[in-house]
Amino acid sequence: MSSFTTTDGTRLFYKDWGKGQPILFAHGWPLSSDAWDQQLLFFGQQGFRVIAHDRRSHGRSDQTWEGNNMDQYADDLAELIEALDLRDAILVGHSTGGGEVAHYIGRHGTARVAKVVLVGAVPPLMLQTKANPHGTPLDVFDGIRDSTAKNRSQFFYDLTVPFYGFNRDGVAGNEGLRENFRRIGLQGGIKGQYDCVHEFSEVDYTDDLKRIDRPTLIIHGDDDQIVPIAASAHRAAEMVPNATLKIYPGGSHGLAETEAERFNADVLDFIRG
């Protein structure tokens, strides 16, 4: 079990397998590095060094009362990247992890970064505002906070239905995937997960996106029911220089798991291109 202790004394769990150019994966909420297992295996077998960490208060990392905010997440990521001396790294961020990757670049630059992949990512802003009419209303996020606080186990299980698009015609259910989502989610700390809702919903990552100066692949499902594409990928692709937008017709928020073969091939082509 690999772990790294940040300067504020927080222990972060991470996986670090294989050799070659490093690919670092940042997970979504309320998950952990386990959500990337299909990618870690595939890209490790393709000759890459694969790294994925559990964000503080998620998975097997320390559950902190304070510091569950995107500034700290980005700084934790910077410390891990420096501790592992990662260079020419491919950064891959899903959902909240996309915000983490973008904010890392916004705060720490791209000296150690070769390329960026954002999938189902929250930037630039999920919250509905006058300037962001396609965003999600605040009361939806208040409901997520309330359900996390009062009925986390059932809420995480129920969340898998729109997360993976199991409520769509022709989409086969997968009870194992649903139970695994709940298992991973319940490993994390309730306080950190509660705090993190603000970070994926109300933080504006516009300035971070504009600072990305590396080739960037943005992958998003056009049927993403968690992070609607109109408020995220479409806008992000206009803000990030050298960005390529790849849309998966009918794709869900969890497409990296449900369409792993296609997703892995697209990311591999991007890395090698």
Catalytic annotation, pick one of 54, 75, 253, 266: 253
Annotate 103-169 with DSSP letters as a single string. Answer: HHHHHH-STTEEEEEEES---S--B--SS-TTSB-HHHHHHHHHHHHH-HHHHHHHHHHHHHTTTST
Catalytic annotation, pick one of 33, 57, 61, 95: 95
Using one digit for the tens of pLDDT, what is the confidence trace for 58-88?
999 999 999 999 999 999 999 999 999 999 9
Query: Residue 1 above 90 pLDDT?
Result: no
- In this prediction, residues 153-176 reach a mean pLDDT of 97
Active site residue 95: yes
Rounded Cα gap, residues 86 and 88, in angstroms: 7
What is the fold, at CATH topology level, of the domain defined by 2-272? Rossmann fold (3.40.50)
Catalytic annotation, pick one of 224, 232, 252, 266: 224
Using one digit for the tens of pLDDT, what is the confidence trace for 151-164?
999 999 999 999 99
Report the predicted TM-score, pTM, of the whole model to 2 decimal places.
0.98
55, 254, 125, 143: CA torsion to nearest 10: -80
Active site residue 224: yes
